[in-house]
Structure 1
């Protein structure tokens, strides 16, 4: 008969101490923390807190007018929002222009009022690097796609589209001497257009 080692004793104790497996609950029971009638105001305030700006518009024409006033539309610009055709180059034909990308306009799928995070999936983004390499980023979001918290958002997003990401404001860091720097390693500005 083989002699029992300390290792065998420890592993046997671990096996005996293993808890029973229980199924996960159907719902985690997190109640919405923002009333539905306050979602837009809470979301807009949080976008501002995150260093961006949120603008309510009634049409994409209004969004286009704002972009034309705020940005030089002769610089490299891409828009993947149907009806907001301000792209002035095609990445497949002029890939080098991505190095100097001035503005990207994308369509958000879900917006979260508690932290202003906006879900973008691969269908909306196209080239995965676009929201991160552009100097300026604009997102278009329907007010009907606003939810109160991340728990509600995860129930709505489609995780089968491949790549997806939440974006909440322009890039920022506070690692150096605890000073907040906006636009440190990505877009310097974020403008969110909220459509009714």
Structure 2
């Protein structure tokens, strides 16, 4: 018996007893008011470096945009094509073609109150790299599409199949350099979430 075989045999002999998975129906069936979900979502988003802006409709977003002169803006929302280029036009392009995107405005399928994560599929991104390569990122999500926790999020994504999808929360950040929080370390420097109330 080799040392590898002895180690693996010892691991197999010393396994903890199996336990049943927790019952998550308690979370699924718990009632959450829309106001509490939205407040929790906004608070957590602020804690991780993001900002939540409440709007009545998608057209109201235009008055909150701060686009630098000559800045490149891409969006997947048809309602915003008068202030931005269509991100779908760049699907299939080399990622470097998007290196100079100042702002990407994307629709999220839903948000998660407990961690302010937003569920985004490749179909909603226009192109996979866009939410990770832009300088600033903005999401649009309907208030009615904020779920309480990741248990509810996984229930909502059950049975769906995507080539690529991601939960995204807050701007890019790291705290491993001299234990100092740095925003925009590897991706977007800021994240604004427009929550549509209407």
TM range (shorter): 0.7 to 0.9
Number of the residue aligned with 1:75: 71
Q: Is residue 91–residue 126 contact of structure 2 (8 Å, CA) maintained in 1? A: no
Using structure 1 for the length normalisation, give the TM-score.
0.81
Q: CA deviation at 1:103?
A: 0.6
C-alpha distance in structure 2 between counterparts of 1:110 and 1:46, whole Å: 15
Q: Is residue 92–residue 127 contact of structure 2 (8 Å, CA) maintained in 1? A: no
CA offsets per residue over residues 120-178 of structure 1, 9 Å max, x none?
Answer: 00110121000000000000000111011101011112640220001100000001111
Q: Is residue 137–residue 191 contact of structure 1 (8 Å, CA) maintained in 2? A: yes
**Structure 1 residues 28 and 6: CA distance shift in structure 2, 3 A:** same
C-alpha distance in structure 1 between counterparts of 2:135 and 2:109, whole Å: 22
Number of the residue aligned with 1:88: 85
Q: Return 5+ residue gaps in structure 2 as ranges.
A: none
**Structure 1 residues 187 and 30: CA distance shift in structure 2, 3 A:** farther
Q: Is residue 121–residue 163 contact of structure 1 (8 Å, CA) maintained in 2? A: yes
Q: Return 5+ residue gaps in structure 1 as ranges.
A: none
Q: Look up the SS of the partner of 2:195 in the other structure.
A: strand
C-alpha distance in structure 2 between counterparts of 1:114 and 1:34, whole Å: 14
Q: Look up the SS of the partner of 1:100 in the other structure.
A: coil
CA RMSD across the alignment: 3.3
Higher percent of residues as strand: 2
C-alpha distance in structure 2 between counterparts of 1:88 and 1:79, whole Å: 6
Moved more, 13-22 or 104-113: 13-22
Number of the residue aligned with 1:63: 61
CA offsets per residue over residues 46-103 of structure 1, 9 Å max, x none?
Answer: 1111101100000112101111xx2226321110013121323743698664121111
Q: Is residue 37–residue 146 contact of structure 2 (8 Å, CA) maintained in 1? A: yes
Aligned residues: 189
Using structure 2 for the length normalisation, give the TM-score.
0.80
Number of the residue aligned with 2:100: 100
Number of the residue aligned with 1:35: 32
